[in-house]
A and B are shown apart, each in its own frame.
Chain A
Amino acid sequence: MEPSPQHSYGGHPPNSGSASGFTIPLTCHRTRIAADLTALPTVRASFAGFLAASGVPDEDRPRWELTFTEATTNAIRHGALEDPYLHITLEWWAEDAELCLAITDPGSGPPSNLAHAPFLPEDPLASSGRGLYIIADFCDTHEHWSSPLGYRQILRKRYPFLTTPLPGSADLDGVLIELATAYECMSAFHRFGTALISANGPASLLESAIENIALVQQPAPDFLRVFLAPTILPEIRDELATCRDVLTHEHAPPTVANVLATSSSTIWDRDSSIAGDPQLHHYSHGCAFPIIADGKTLGCVVLAARNRPSAFTPTELSNLRTLTDLLGIALANANLQVHRDDESRALRELEIAADIQRTLLLPPPAPTSPYHEITLRHRSIYEVAGDYLEARLDAHGQLVLCTIDVMGKGVSAAMLAALFRTVFHIELERPENAEKPLGDLLRTLNLALTAQLEPLTTFITCALARVKRDDATGTAIAEIASAGHCPVLALSPAGPAAQIEPTGPPLGLFLDAEYTTTSLKLAPNNPDYPDTLLMVTDGLYEWNDGTTWWGWENLVGLAALHARHDPDTFWNEILELATCRTSHHSDDMTLLHYRIL
């Protein structure tokens, strides 16, 4: 019967590049021998040992040894012509359920007709000529080819299950252990990633990370704790400390306290270093790793065992460090969550405040008259009114001008401004207040506001001006009262004519505060008298370009140029200056301009 193996033959390697073809695996045994037949028995014995270790069935082993002998003899005799200065290379390995043998000699291989159709010699007693036939008859595949490097053949026989494809290579074992460690880490990161998506808060994420550690310990540790360092923000520390196996640094035993202080690991193996630790000295083996993320020590994880048979292996310690890194991510995430919550809350507050501003604090249109010109301008930095301004008629039809500045920003400032506005409107409607000095109106407002703000440490600065026109002369008397507000500037055609300083403390602080009233005569276009009042908030002039404050004096100087006739140009120039010279202007800006006509 003619053998019918799968042959391939040519001038290039068959199956090159394929996993099952030319690639020689890490497990390959490689031997280089002189082309001397006396070297054959030793190397064949080594091959026989490999056959046994690989689980090749007993009945196949003699045939493999015969095949090995024939192929190697051919290589020595015909390939290297038994020249002891030439060499034969022998390789064997098991891969993908195949046992493989490769032989390389310096020759050019057998004649192609013999290579393609090996046959038995006619003389059954012939001492040679049967090698290729035996190979082809026994192996599943016989690949062989010539190249400038010589003649190479690879013999393969398939075994559906080789009991051990690992011929005891320490190198390969090392690689596989590294691979197992890498798998362990990837798996842990994957589980943690899944937890990151499904966790409903930092505490559950931390618990998940701790479970991750406990899950892969074998045997299970007798002691597993996570200690939180003071770097965990107080807002989240108490919540995290309610998690199972989590404690704050106040409860850390001395060994852990040292790890937290030095950010250095401690590993003990039946040694005395732990003897003085009141909590941990019961445990024969253990390790304490600092939990570090983003350069900060956020805590410490401690694993300990009472009667562990052996020390932690390098692989176990490596895996634990990886899992500790995951704890670091969980804790850093908790800290980050606090910051995000704060930012989110602040943003939400600003949105609410902006809504209050739009609905409650929009200044109503100023009363119109042929005898005056009023301009109201406001620019809010936070889209929120910490400032408020209004021009309104009182119960006697007198014009009252008002600017206020509430301490603080956001919702509380907007709410306080709204509260002021309500009280201001109520009091302005009372006829008796129209008859009292303006300082008394401030006193009334202060009483109302202080009573309501008493539990709070906040206040409002306010400037009021009430204009009483004298129809006979075309002039007016402006009463001015100020509760801790910035000066009111009076301008005449000749320039700044007066600035009225506060006449009492801010509103909302002292129940017994008193406010005086200052009066000015206003006359249109008369250099001897002011005709314009500028009422502002400090945001209009208290800004700096990084080195110097712009300040009140500069505002007065700019106002002297064209604020009387052209308040919009004045306003726009200040805005432009503030925008160009400061990277971050942090206060509202308000201008109330009045000019008698």
Chain B
Amino acid sequence: MKGWPSLTLFTASLYGFWLLLNDTFAPGQMVLGLVLTIAVALGTAAMRPLRARPHHLFAAIRLLFVVVGDIIRSNFAVAGIILGSVKRRSNSGFMKIPMDLRDPYGLAVLACIITAVPGTVWAGLSADGRALTIHVLDLQDEEAWVRTIKYRYERPLMEIFE
């Protein structure tokens, strides 16, 4: 699994999207999709300055399930906060987290995960990439948030991308 050629992965997922969008396996669409996706992949290759090198497919799948579980759990947590008392609602704030992840694609995925999970929003990375600022809706236990982000999301991402 080491070093997937990312262009192939990109082409394959684009092809999958094309067939899904047309909802068909008709031979004409399959050929057209193949031609289009290869053309798009070659045409945009120059616009992607660096290639992602994801490995460890199983770690990625495990991370996906962890994130879906967290999204479901924190949906109800945030719903509780919104419906709760004024005191619970005005408990938000910014916090800083030290970062070890360096790969830009890994950071992009981490940004998507943090923002997609209700209750936390990615608010920026410092210029040297060592400190991450996030905004948290329920900021009671900063340590717990640092632990969640570092062990649940950052560790697997470092495994996948570095």
A binds B: no
Taking Cβ atoms with an 8 Å cutoff, the residues of B that contact A are: none
Taking Cβ atoms with an 8 Å cutoff, the residues of A that contact B are: none
